[in-house]
Amino acid sequence: MENLQAMGLEESGSNAHFQENFETIAVRTQSERTQFQEHSVPLYLTSSYVFEDSEDMRASFAEEKKRNIYSRFSNPNTSEFIEKVARMEGAEAGYAFATGMAAVFSTLAALLNSGDHIVAARSVFGSTHGLFTKYFPKWNITHSYFDVNEPETIESHIKPETKILFAESPTNPGVDILDLEYLGKIAKKHDLILIIDNCFATPYIQNPIKFGADLVIHSATKLIDGQGRVLGGVTVGREDLIREIYLFSRNTGPALSPFNAWVLSKSLETLSVRLEKHCENALRVAEFLEENAKIGWVKYPFLKSHPQYKIAKNQMRLGGNVVAFEIKGGIEAGRRFIDSLQLCTRSANLGDTRTIVTHPASTTHSKLNENERLEAGISEGLVRISVGLEHIDDIINDLKNALNN
């Protein structure tokens, strides 16, 4: 972390031994105080920084000095946010982006060359699927998908030109679980860079680097912000890879705004407390749905009935805040259910304080045909709930009333 520290982060000093625990890292990782001795970190809205003289400027640009030059490269607020996520994930370094998709795109684009190949789980975020299928082929970067329920087939997709193994766990919107330790072993054996989009779990619930991931990506827009306010993204992991990603991003300009970084770093202070409640509510919702006769099946990582329950328990601290279920009666029943909700919101976001319900078959995945949807694990009656922080009785009552309609 020495480079980040030089960019204005306090050395943990005598507090170092307290900084091992997640909650303390979340609250106490903080930019150095200014001469005003403020307790809460100020907002550094500045696009550039000044130099002593021409030699100072030369040495700074030559990277002989680690310091802030221009906020496309670094800024005290973004450095604090990166440092915090890196510590939470057990990573060596990181870079922060304007959105989660900027993080996914810039990370892959920085590391891949024309002719390279990606092996990925078929259940990836819609826009990531768009990158793989629509844009990367323009630069002769190809991909192969494996089925999340057949991880034993992964190795059959690996070619000499495969460079990256990419996956999300839990997946969106099906809430399937991939065995990170197994992915780590495959990546190591075939000398692949393992990249995990850890958005659904957050650094509080799951740390993929422990299981062999080289890089971890987050859309900070979701549970990290947690209140549906700002967009953001971050990639943390191996220093040599982050260096490539940093240089690419310093030139291409997907940097996170200092304001959003400030908001997101504040949000991280309460991440553990929020997630304890989110996950407690989500488990209650999952248990309620499992008992309901109008429901075909329910998927939640910490329900014993989840096909990968054992793996989830091994790699996750909590089950997350997303529950997927199949409503009997297909696409029409799904739409009627969504339309009958009074409290829960129909919205595209997730990880908000407000409970959000989506019906992928008629919305986010409506452009796919039924076969493509089934391949992506999306049945006609699949409903995804991002469980929020309202009182659990009110959430369940709303779901109950809508199911009775």
Q: Which residue is nearest to ligand PLP (CB)?
A: 100
- Name the minimum Å distance from CB 167 to ligand PLP: 10
Structure tokens at 309: 């329950």
- Name the minimum Å distance from CB 340 to ligand PLP: 26
- Is the separation of the CB atoms in 385 and 323 below 8 Å? yes
- Name the minimum Å distance from CB 351 to ligand PLP: 8
- Name the minimum Å distance from CB 168 to ligand PLP: 5
Coil vs helix vs strand at 247: helix
- Name the minimum Å distance from CB 98 to ligand PLP: 8
Binding site for ligand PLP (CB under 6 A): 99-101, 104, 125, 168, 172, 197, 199, 219, 221-222, 231, 233
- How many angstroms separate the CA atoms of 188 and 214, rounded? 10
Comparing CA positions, the residue from 339, 342, 388 lying closest to residue 359 is 339
Q: Residue 86: enclosing H or E segment and its boundaries?
A: helix 76-89
Nearest to ligand PLP of 100, 360 (CB atom) = 100
- Name the minimum Å distance from CB 405 to ligand PLP: 29
Nearest to ligand PLP of 199, 283 (CB atom) = 199
Nearest to ligand PLP of 12, 99 (CB atom) = 99
Q: Residue 385: enclosing H or E segment and its boundaries?
A: strand 382-386
Nearest to ligand PLP of 197, 326 (CB atom) = 197
- Name the minimum Å distance from CB 101 to ligand PLP: 4
- How many angstroms separate the CA atoms of 146 and 156, rounded? 9
φ/ψ region of 63 (left if φ > 0, alpha if ψ in -120 to 50, else beta) reads: left
Structure tokens at 169: 């766990």
- Name the minimum Å distance from CB 209 to ligand PLP: 17
| Cβ count near 188 (within 10 Å) | 12
The full DSSP string for 197-210 is: E-TTTHHHH--GGG
Q: What is the CA radius of gyration of the chain?
A: 22
- Name the minimum Å distance from CB 99 to ligand PLP: 3
Strands (E), 83-230: 93-97, 117-121, 142-146, 162-168, 193-197, 215-219
- How many angstroms separate the CA atoms of 4 and 94, rounded? 9
**What backbone torsions phi and psi does residue 116 show, to the nearest 5 degrees?**
-75, 160
Nearest to ligand PLP of 4, 199 (CB atom) = 199
Nearest to ligand PLP of 3, 257 (CB atom) = 257
Of the CA atoms within 13 Å of residue 8, those in its CB half-sphere come to: 19
Residue type, 230: V
Walk across the sheet containing 215-219 and list its strands: 93-97, 233-237, 215-219, 193-197, 162-168, 117-121, 142-146
- How many angstroms separate the CA atoms of 20 and 10, rounded? 16
Nearest to ligand PLP of 125, 146 (CB atom) = 125
Nearest to ligand PLP of 1, 220 (CB atom) = 220
- Name the minimum Å distance from CB 100 to ligand PLP: 2
